[in-house]
Amino acid sequence: MLGARRTRSVLITLLIVAIALITIDFRDGGTSGAHSIGGRIFGPVERLTGDVTGWFRGGGGNAEISALQKQNDQLRAELAQAQVSSQDAAQLGGLLHLTGQDGYKVVTASVIAAGGAYSDTVTISAGSSDGIAANETVLNGDGLVGTVIATTLSTATVQLATDAGATVGIRMARSGQIGALTGTADSFSGGAPLRLTLFSASASLKPGDELVTFGSVGGRPYVPGIPIGKVTKVTTEPGSLTPTALVMPFADFTGLGVLGVVVSK
Amino acid sequence: MSDRRVIKPFVGERSALRKTLVAAALPVALFAAVIVQLTVVNRLPLPGGDAPDLVLLLVTAVAVCSNAMTGALTGFAGGLAIDIAPPVTHYAGEYALVYCLAGYLAASAVAAISAASGGAERDPWVSVAVMAAATAAGEAGKAALGLLLSAPDVTDAAIKHVLPGAILYDLLLTPVVYWLVARVARLAQPASERAPAPVFIDARRLASVFRSASAGAAPNLRLAGTGAKFSDDRPPRREPNLRLAGKKSNSFARTVPGTTNSAHLPLAGGRATKLNFAHSGPSVRPGYRTGGSALGAGPLPAGIARPGRTPKLNFAADKSAIAPRRVKSPGKGWLRAAGARSGASIRAGTETGIKTGRGKAAASGRSPSAGWLRTDQHRPVAPARRAAPGKGWLRPARPPRANWYSNGPSSSWIRRSRSQARWRTRRRSLSGSLLSTVRDLLPTGDRR
């Protein structure tokens, strides 16, 4: 039948286009122009819808609450900075060349959309027009949330710390041991969604230990000193070189509302 | 969908408007589904941490309610929208690929199943089942493509956890989404319900097409179908009969002796008279004809009936033979005349006609030969003959301008036409013909 032949040719064309898009995006590491076009198209609508749903949730709609939230985020960031400065400013400063920093500036935004089942990503209602760039730390009043991985003019995509592709450098608040924190696929079950691996084989771990971000050069993608969570279960296996543990984050990743993005000053 | 076959010939404008509206609603629905999926559904704290995929559900529902083309296009558009909409979760084009395939396959499967079951109707349960299967396959396809591209999020553990829950949520929503989409799609359906109306138009168009087709394809049909070729009045009109006589194998073995005045079976002789009369024309003298008729003194109506039909059958089998129409009408008319009277009266009438010549043909008006003559006399102009060349023999009462095709070809005629294969090609070449219209009512798919 003529129609079937035409349909088949259209299908093949569409598949080729899709594969070409995948190839281009794969080459660009997920930052091809298609995403910015999509941001321009869908971003404003998502912001609008996110505002509406936020109003229904009763959280983000109230101006006073969001102002307080922003203040809280700001204070949290400054507290982290102050703690870092007071405790081992010299050590960290020497290590990370952070001595000259005089605090952070926080841009607040609300979560307007969320990614699919496999990835823990959210869209926030602020983008590059608000000064947000990729690889900036995102936090809320409870602790670390994640980092910005992509921005459009009016929106930004935040990769949550629980995403399987996210790795955060941490420092144990008590012992000062350093390690790495990765998201796990178990994050969906509501259990401990983060897996901690310490770098030192001799380091001790016990449930209840708190950990903060270790910080990266220039504060990207993570500024130092942001509280992340606490150890719930030590899972070090006999014979393994490094201690491992499951970590429950302070932030509630299932009910994210207003987030703060630490913008470099 | 149950009232799909209801004939509503006069709702054309409204249904076209509706169809346009429904077609315009599709992109809007897709856009809305993408937004709702990203801003609401993905954020719902559902048990298990999974979420249904509204866009995939919409794509498969649209696919099973429409055709493969719409399914593929809808799938591509919906998938691409999810791909590029702000939360950057995977490479652009991944879901476009998966949803496009899911939509195409779902529509093709439904079309194939409904074609296999033989009905134009689509069973809603079959549609729902196919839609559920396509949705599950789409979810699996998303995971498989993520694995293939080694996306960091799509690990074995993640798939094991996500996939069953996602499919479960999708299956729960499948009937709901199907119901909604089918309801909207039904708004566009009066356009297809209207399809029986074009059937009448197409029947007429089919007649004209048939006419032109027969003019080009078969020279034997040309004479009856188009007046232009028929304008040579007498000689071309007789020649076919001559040719027919030559081509005939069995019947004409009997016919020729009849002409040559040799004694033969009455049955064969009776038919020979007529055929000879027709084919020989002026070259054969009346005496031979009369003699033939006299020899076939008692042609039994029942006996004649078989030879009378023979030319038609032969025509149907023989490509280069003579116009069906020409052969048919004389044969029929002759038979009818023979059946109406006894053999004796036929003989008497024929003899009278021959004796009295043209002028007195009215006396034996029902005799075939005489009728033919009289037709000649009363309508000396060629167009008049052209109007009803064959019927003039026996049925002059028929409207002279009436074309044989004016009522469209009868089904028996179509059945009798020479080769099925030829008809099929003709039919297929006409996008708007009767049969392709009927086929358009059927769900499109890879059925041919």
pLDDT tens column, B382-434:
454 555 455 445 554 555 555 555 565 556 666 666 555 555 544 444 444 55
| A152 neighbors B180 (Cβ within 8 angstroms) | no
Chain B residues closer than 8 Å to A46 by CB: 35, 38-39, 85-86
pLDDT tens for each residue of B49-84: 788 999 999 999 999 988 889 899 999 999 999 988
Q: Do the chains contact at A157 and B76, CB–CB below 8 Å?
A: no
- Copy the structure tokens of residue A252: 């509630």
- Copy the structure tokens of residue B53: 């995929």
pLDDT tens for each residue of A15-59: 999 999 998 888 887 777 888 888 888 888 888 887 787 776 655
Chain B residues closer than 8 Å to A50 by CB: 39
More confident site: B187 or B308: B187
pLDDT at B210: 54
Q: How far is CA B76 from the centre of its chain?
A: 34
Q: How far is CA B418 from the centre of its chain?
A: 16
Q: Any idea which residue has 């059925």 for tokens? A: B447
Low-confidence winner among B27-31, B211-215, B311-315 (lowest mean pLDDT):
B311-315
> Which of A217, A160, A209 has the alpha carbon at shortest distance from A184?
A160
Nearest-Cα distance to chain B for A96, in Å, is 29
Burial of B153 (0-12, 13-18, 19+ CB in 10 A): buried
Find the mean pLDDT for residues B320-330: 45
pLDDT band, very low/low/confident/very high, at B444 (cuts 50, 70, 90): low
Q: How far is CA A197 from the centre of its chain?
A: 19
Q: Do the chains contact at A22 and B448, CB–CB below 8 Å?
A: no
> Which of B287, B196, B292, B278 has the alpha carbon at shortest distance from B243?
B278
Q: Do the chains contact at B43 and A114, CB–CB below 8 Å?
A: yes
| A257 neighbors A57 (Cβ within 8 angstroms) | yes
B-chain residue closest to A11, CA distance: B72
Residues 6+ apart with CB under 8 A from B448: A1, A4
Measured distance between the N- and C-terminal CA atoms of chain A, rounded to whole angstroms: 65
d(CA A130, CA A107) in angstroms, rounded, equals 8
pLDDT at B416: 60
A118 → closest Cβ in B84, B93, B158: B158
Number of H helices, E strands in chain B: 21, 0
Decide if pLDDT at A100 tops 60. Answer: no
Chain A residues closer than 8 Å to B157 by CB: 184-186
pLDDT at B406: 58
B42 → closest Cβ in A19, A116, A164: A116
More confident site: A243 or A188: A243
A15 → closest Cβ in B97, B153, B158: B97
Chain B interface test: which of A6, A8, A11 (most B C-beta within 10 Å): A11
pLDDT tens for each residue of B355-368: 444 444 444 444 44
Q: Which domains does chain A have, with CATH numbers?
A: 167-249 (2.40.10.350)
pLDDT band, very low/low/confident/very high, at B101 (cuts 50, 70, 90): very high
| B210 neighbors B310 (Cβ within 8 angstroms) | no
pLDDT band, very low/low/confident/very high, at B303 (cuts 50, 70, 90): very low
How many Cβ pairs closer than 8 A exist between chain A and B? 210
pLDDT at B78: 94
Chain B residues closer than 8 Å to A31 by CB: 88
d(CA B71, CA B100) in angstroms, rounded, equals 7
Number of H helices, E strands in chain A: 3, 12
Q: Do the chains contact at A117 and B447, CB–CB below 8 Å?
A: no
A-chain residue closest to B44, CA distance: A254
Decide if pLDDT at B42 tops 80. Answer: yes
pLDDT at B437: 53
Chain A residues closer than 8 Å to B49 by CB: 117, 187-190, 254
Neighbour count for residue B388 (Cβ, 10 Å): 21
Neighbour count for residue A40 (Cβ, 10 Å): 15
pLDDT tens for each residue of A232-265: 888 877 777 888 888 888 888 877 778 888 886 5
Q: What is the CA radius of gyration of chain A?
A: 21
Where exactly are the structural domains of chain B?
A: 12-194, 219-417
Angle at B272 between CA B270 and CA B277, to 5 degrees: 110
Which residue type is seen at B202? D
Nearest-Cα distance to chain A for B4, in Å, is 22
B-chain residue closest to A9, CA distance: B69
Decide if pLDDT at B158 tops 60. Answer: yes
Q: What is the mean pLDDT of chain A?
A: 79
Q: Do the chains contact at B93 and A25, CB–CB below 8 Å?
A: yes
Find the mean pLDDT for residues A211-216: 84
Nearest-Cα distance to chain B for A118, in Å, is 6
Nearest-Cα distance to chain B for A162, in Å, is 10
d(CA B176, CA B271) in angstroms, rounded, equals 74
Q: Do the chains contact at A1 and B45, CB–CB below 8 Å?
A: no
pLDDT at A19: 92
Decide if pLDDT at B436 tops 50. Answer: yes
Angle at B304 between CA B299 and CA B306, to 5 degrees: 160
- Copy the structure tokens of residue B304: 């004649």
| Complex ipTM over 0.85 | no
Q: What is the mean pLDDT of chain B?
A: 63
State in words which class domain B12-194 has. mainly alpha
Residues 6+ apart with CB under 8 A from B209: B426, B430, B433
Decide if pLDDT at A105 tops 70. Answer: yes
Q: Do the chains contact at A22 and B80, CB–CB below 8 Å?
A: no
Q: Do the chains contact at A123 and B149, CB–CB below 8 Å?
A: no
pLDDT tens for each residue of A106-143: 888 888 888 877 788 888 888 888 888 888 888 887 88
d(CA B233, CA B219) in angstroms, rounded, equals 17
pLDDT band, very low/low/confident/very high, at B105 (cuts 50, 70, 90): very high
> Which of B364, B366, B253, B345 has the alpha carbon at shortest distance from B299?
B345
Q: Do the chains contact at A21 and B91, CB–CB below 8 Å?
A: yes
Q: How far is CA B161 from the centre of its chain?
A: 54
Which residue type is seen at B51? A
pLDDT at A110: 84
d(CA A46, CA A36) in angstroms, rounded, equals 14
Q: Do the chains contact at B90 and A45, CB–CB below 8 Å?
A: no
pLDDT tens for each residue of B262-282: 444 444 444 444 444 444 444
Nearest-Cα distance to chain B for A35, in Å, is 5
Q: What is the CA radius of gyration of chain B?
A: 35
Chain A residues closer than 8 Å to B427 by CB: none
Using N-to-C axis directions, what is the helix angle for B250-259 and B266-280, rounded to 10°? 80
pLDDT band, very low/low/confident/very high, at B1 (cuts 50, 70, 90): very low
Most confident of A85-89, A227-231, B405-409: A227-231
Q: Do the chains contact at B154 and A118, CB–CB below 8 Å?
A: yes
pLDDT band, very low/low/confident/very high, at B130 (cuts 50, 70, 90): very high
Are β-strands A137-139 and A144-151 bridged in parallel, bridged antiparallel, or unpaired?
Answer: antiparallel
d(CA B29, CA B225) in angstroms, rounded, equals 54
Burial of B204 (0-12, 13-18, 19+ CB in 10 A): middle
> Which of A136, A144, A158, A159 has the alpha carbon at shortest distance from A263?
A136
pLDDT tens for each residue of B367-384: 444 445 554 445 555 454
Q: Do the chains contact at A19 and B76, CB–CB below 8 Å?
A: no
> Which of B145, B139, B118, B156 has the alpha carbon at shortest distance from B53?
B139
Neighbour count for residue B159 (Cβ, 10 Å): 21
> Which of B171, B165, B97 has the alpha carbon at shortest distance from B134?
B171
Q: How far is CA B315 from the centre of its chain?
A: 23
Q: Do the chains contact at B100 and A32, CB–CB below 8 Å?
A: no
d(CA A225, CA A90) in angstroms, rounded, equals 14
pLDDT at B405: 58
Nearest-Cα distance to chain A for B157, in Å, is 6
Q: Do the chains contact at B50 and A41, CB–CB below 8 Å?
A: no
Most confident of A89-93, A170-174, B135-139: B135-139
DSSP B36: H
Chain A residues closer than 8 Å to B68 by CB: 4, 7, 11
Decide if pLDDT at B213 tops 70. Answer: no
Chain B residues closer than 8 Å to A43 by CB: 86
Nearest-Cα distance to chain A for B31, in Å, is 9
3-class DSSP state of B40: coil
What percentage of chain A carries pLDDT values higher than 90? 5
Which residue type is seen at B319? K
Low-confidence winner among A85-89, B143-147, B316-320 (lowest mean pLDDT):
B316-320
